[in-house]
């Protein structure tokens, strides 16, 4: 059943903190995630779209992070061509490498992200407060896991046609 944005049933997508990003709590691999998003007129969100909404200490940013905390989901990027590194991000979701000590460093756990490079569909992981404090970072982007990995949620935005070319190929199959 196709529904309109903002009126999804409890078995469908729900908008996260009035952010324009929608989430369905369901275990799904990459192909299953794409099919669910496509069926509802959505596409996977990019890491920039996620991080730009998580930026800062505003109540809206905190509500957004609270709603995706503990989740893992595929995002609309295929692979990260960089070395394993810790980064921080700005209000546009732009990544900047952190130099020096990260654990409880000047950026804090909520503004630190660990990147695992690779050439697979990217997984975006959001750690709970307890794990984030232990690890020293809240977010992780993983390009090594592969498309068969089942994740805990499906997250997307309105489909504006900006779908990664590799995902377009997966949808055609």
Report pLDDT digits (tens) over 18-57. 999 999 999 999 999 999 999 999 999 999 999 999 998 8
Side-chain-side CA neighbours of 101 within 13 Å: the count stands at: 4
What integer pLDDT is reported at residue 106 of this predicted model? Answer: 67
Beta bridge partners of 114: 86, 140
pLDDT, tens only, 58-105:
899 999 999 999 999 999 988 787 778 889 899 999 998 887 666 555
What is the structure's pLDDT at 164?
76
Which pLDDT band holds residue 139 (cuts at 50, 70, 90)? very high
The answer to whether residue 6 scores a pLDDT higher than 70 is no
Query: To the nearest 10°, the Cα dihedral for 18, 157, 28, 172?
Result: 160
Confidence of residue 1 (pLDDT cuts 50, 70, 90): very low
Going from the N-terminus, what domains does the chain have, and what CATH number goes with each? Answer: 14-172 (3.10.100)
pTM of the model as a whole: 0.86
Query: Higher-confidence residue: 152 or 23?
Result: 23
How far apart (Å, rounded) are the C-alpha atoms in residues 84 and 21? 27
């Amino acid at each position: 059943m196709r529904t309109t944005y903002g009126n999804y049933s409890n078995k469908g997508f729900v908008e996260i903190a009035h952010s324009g990003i929608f989430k369905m709590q369901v275990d799904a691999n990459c192909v299953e995630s794409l099919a669910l998003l496509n069926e509802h007129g959505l596409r996977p969100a990019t890491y920039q779209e996620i991080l730009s909404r998580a930026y800062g200490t505003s109540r809206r940013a905190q509500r957004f992070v609270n709603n995706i905390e503990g989740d893992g989901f595929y995002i609309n990027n295929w692979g990260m061509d960089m070395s394993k590194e810790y980064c921080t991000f700005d209000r546009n979701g732009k990544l900047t490498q952190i130099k020096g000590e990260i654990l409880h460093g000047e950026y804090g756990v909520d503004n630190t992200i660990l990147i695992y490079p690779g050439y697979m569909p990217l997984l975006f992981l959001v750690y709970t407060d307890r794990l984030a404090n232990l690890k020293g970072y809240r977010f992780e982007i993983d390009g090594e896991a592969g498309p068969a990995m089942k994740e805990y949620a499906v997250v997307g935005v309105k489909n504006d046609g900006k779908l990664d070319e590799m995902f377009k190929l997966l949808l055609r199959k």
